[in-house]
Amino acid sequence: MAITQAKKLELITKHAKNFTTKSEATPVLQGVHYAADGSVVCTDRVTLLRIGGAHNFTEAFTSHAKTGAVIDGVFPDTSRIVPQELPTQITLVDTAFFSGIKDAIARVKVALETAKLSADKSHITRLDVAQGSGVKLTVNLSEDNASFAAMLTADTFGKDAAVAFNAQLFLNALNVFKDAGSQRVIVGITGEATPIVLRDEENEIDAIVLPYRVAKEAA
């Protein structure tokens, strides 16, 4: 179901803090960019949120995510950062009887809590996609003698793939789609070192999370 422009601005207001930087070194990345094409974009160079059709301003500007004050400076061109071709796709679907998106959120939350048992603040979680076998979410903390594994209820398309990411950042992205009421979200994997894309095509919402390199599993 398509959401209104007002709802899109509400999403940005609520979630921008999770996609903007806190560093004073790059003030423009503390803000939300209102692009001339009607989209809004925010990024901290590790994650990105873009929502199309969110405003009617004719001139581009960037405003601080918290204060709303206009920020001087050139916002980076992010158009080439978001991949359009997604060779591996995981599709989370909401129906009247089951929420694939909420189910994924619940499992990522458990993965995050498991990852937090490690002193490593990267919260590394792995996602494996194998045609015919499904989508597996895992956390392995060998030094802490802790692990978590779960299958996601999702449709898959394309190549087998594996990718690792910070579970907190991935959860932040999923929550945008939950709050949007998205009924179909594609999680696209383009490579082990290229952005993971979460996309609601109907509502023109894209979120990306940069991955960690995946360690090769022992045969």
Looking at the fold, whether 180 and 107 belong to one and the same domain comes out as yes
Tell me whether residue 74 is in a domain: no
Question: Final residue of a domain: which of 64, 98, 115?
Answer: 64
Looking at the fold, whether 114 and 165 belong to one and the same domain comes out as yes
pLDDT the model gives residue 119: 84
Residues 125-137 as b or e (16 or more Cβ within 10 Å = b): bbbbbeeeeebeb
Tell me whether residue 52 is in a domain: yes
pLDDT digits (tens, 9 = 90+) for 94-149: 888 888 999 999 999 999 999 999 888 899 999 999 988 899 999 998 777 789 99
User: Per-residue pLDDT for 218 more than 50?
Assistant: no
**pTM, rounded to two decimals:** 0.94
Distance CA 48, CA 18 (A): 9
Question: Final residue of a domain: which of 49, 64, 79?
Answer: 64
Looking at the fold, whether 48 and 132 belong to one and the same domain comes out as no
Of 41, 65, 62, 42, the residue nearest 52 (C-alpha)? 41
Looking at the fold, whether 112 and 166 belong to one and the same domain comes out as yes
The number of folded domains in the chain is: 2
Looking at the fold, whether 57 and 105 belong to one and the same domain comes out as no
The two three-digit tokens of residue 54, written as one number? 């969110």
Looking at the fold, whether 101 and 167 belong to one and the same domain comes out as yes
Looking at the fold, whether 34 and 106 belong to one and the same domain comes out as no
Return mean pLDDT, the chain. 93
Q: Which domain holds residue 190?
A: 88-209
Looking at the fold, whether 198 and 97 belong to one and the same domain comes out as yes
pLDDT the model gives residue 214: 66
Rounded percentage of the chain residues whose pLDDT exceeds 70: 97
pLDDT the model gives residue 113: 95
Tell me whether residue 215 is in a domain: no
Distance CA 54, CA 39 (A): 5
Of 53, 72, 74, 54, the residue nearest 64 (C-alpha)? 72
Strands (E), 40-87: 40-43, 47-51, 61-64
Q: How confident is the model at residue 216 (pLDDT cuts 50, 70, 90)?
A: low
pLDDT digits (tens, 9 = 90+) for 37-62: 999 999 999 999 999 999 999 999 99
For position 165, which CATH number holds?
3.70.10.10
Looking at the fold, whether 21 and 113 belong to one and the same domain comes out as no
Q: How confident is the model at residue 219 (pLDDT cuts 50, 70, 90)?
A: very low
pLDDT digits (tens, 9 = 90+) for 166-177: 999 999 999 999
